[in-house]
Amino acid sequence: MGDTYGLGYGISGSGVHSMPWKVDTTVEVRREFVELCNVEGSKVAERCRRFGVSRKTGYKWLSRYRESGLSGLKDESRRPLHSPSQIGTAMESAVIQLREAHPAWGGRKLRRRLEDQGISGVPSASTITEILRRKGMLSASAGPPVASQRFERARSNELWQMDFKGHFGMENGGRCHPLTVLDDHSRFSLVLEACGHEQGSLVQSVLTSAFRRYGLKRC
């Protein structure tokens, strides 16, 4: 079993928990992603999995980087272009009528049928779902099934798992002790370090570098 540490709580006797810094910004992490993707032979899907992002998000970063460089990796305004409160009465009526005709259809299927009917300005599936919710046309239990037990954490840097993956001999007579650290939300491999031993001082040094790169949990 590997050792598991909750970030922000520190490691006994190390003093690591008192470090409040985070050096790498979101833009720098995204830059690392696109640069790795641009390496010859690199697979975007694999990079997306390692960075804990969807392929759609990964390709969006790549596209924005090619068009605008580093500035394209900055967060854009999250203000929605459309709001359920701004949907016209005619569109809302069309959504409601179609739902009444097909009570089992959700937002995505309703949206597709409205588009197939040639209606312009059809809102997003999430907006259609919100219309149905406001009109009391969704049951309280509507939504995706929820797992009875969730091992994965809700956000990155809530919990890391650390483990030495055994050890093996090398040609020079020494031994290699592979140290791994995994984020329990993104499943991103934060550390894969070939260590010469498993003593606390070396582990602290490796973790310090990881904390500088990826940050600590915000309490």
Question: Considering the entire predicted model, what is its pTM?
Answer: 0.35
Q: How far apart are CA 194 and CA 203, in angstroms?
A: 11
Cα radius of gyration (the chain): 24
CB 130 within 8 A of CB 84: yes
- If you average pLDDT over every residue of the chain, what do you get? 78
Least confident interval from 102-111, 122-131, 154-163? 154-163
Place of tokens 């498993």: 198
E strand or H helix at 183, and its extent? strand 175-183
3-state SS assignment for residue 215: coil
What is the secondary structure of 39-67 as a DSSP string?
A: STT--HHHHHHHHT--HHHHHHHHHHHHH
- What architecture is the 84-134 domain classified under in CATH? Orthogonal Bundle (1.10)
> Does 172 or 18 have the greater pLDDT score?
172
Q: Which two tokens stand for residue 69?
A: 């460089």
Encoded tokens for 80: 């929605």
Does residue 29 come out as left (phi exceeding 0), alpha (psi in the -120 to 50 range) or beta? alpha
- Looking at residue 156, the DSSP 8-state letter turns out to be T
Query: Residue 79: its pLDDT value, please?
Result: 55
**pLDDT of residue 191 exceeding 50:** yes
Confidence band, pLDDT 50/70/90 cuts, at residue 120: confident
